[in-house]
Homo-oligomer: A and B are copies of this chain.
Amino acid sequence: MEIVDLSTLPDSETRYTEFLRQICEKHDMDHAAYAGMNPAAGTVAGFVTYDDAWTEHYQNQGLIMVDPTIHMARRSIAPVDWSRLERSPDFQRVFRDASDFGLPNQGVTIPVRGPYGDIGLLSATRKCSKDEWRKLFTHVISDLQSMAVHIHDNVVSSDELTNVLYHPTLSTREAEILQWVAAGKSQQDIGDILSISHRTVEVHLRSSREKLSALTTPQAVGRAIAIGLITPS
């Protein structure tokens, strides 16, 4: 059981879709889907093996806003088995629609998070009975988790837009000062700590804001944390 190394494949959207198809074949799944988001960069990437009809319907109806699989997985550490969502009212909405399009009723969504606030969701589905699903699930879940990490790692690494926004490098002093701001210190405090004028502290903060394209210091702190330039405290 070898893991396909995504980074060796030609760089394009199709390779990810192809990768999803391979997952389906390997694990007896009907469909697979990946969605990656980077809140800080505001980027979203998605690859699916679904028919275009369902994809369009899903987008047109804005089902992403109510899809309980996404809601749950975004807040979970462990994989989310869709059968645990059946009581959700939104579940009815989305899955009745999906059923109309002939889509499977059993599935799982696996969340994967990166260090910069980015999150990827890998879903795999299959039309079968609950018992069948349970067996299949326990059998393939750990490999699916591995695949989820693999695809998210590759998407994030190859996403040029993300990479650009990943590296608004702050100077040593700027990062240092922003870190103190995130720790709740005032400019005067920081000046005392670093033995420089609070005026100077403000200058570094200003250039930090500019580099992060932030209008205010709170926004700059939020972005810096989201992209890993500083840590919350």
Interface residues of A (CB under 8 A from B): 2, 39-40, 42, 74-79, 111-115, 117, 119, 138, 141-143, 145-146, 149-150, 152-153, 156, 181-186, 214-223, 225-226, 228, 230-233
Contact = CB atoms under 8 A, between A and B. Distances in A.
Contacts of A219: 181-184, 221, 233
A225 B232 contact: yes
Nearest to A42: B233
16 contacts: A75-B115, A76-B115, A111-B115, A113-B113, A113-B114, A117-B225, A142-B146, A145-B149, A181-B216, A184-B219, A218-B221, A221-B222, A222-B230, A222-B232, A222-B233, A226-B232
Contact of A149 (B74, B77, B117, B216): B77
Given A39-B231, A184-B215, A146 B149 contact: no
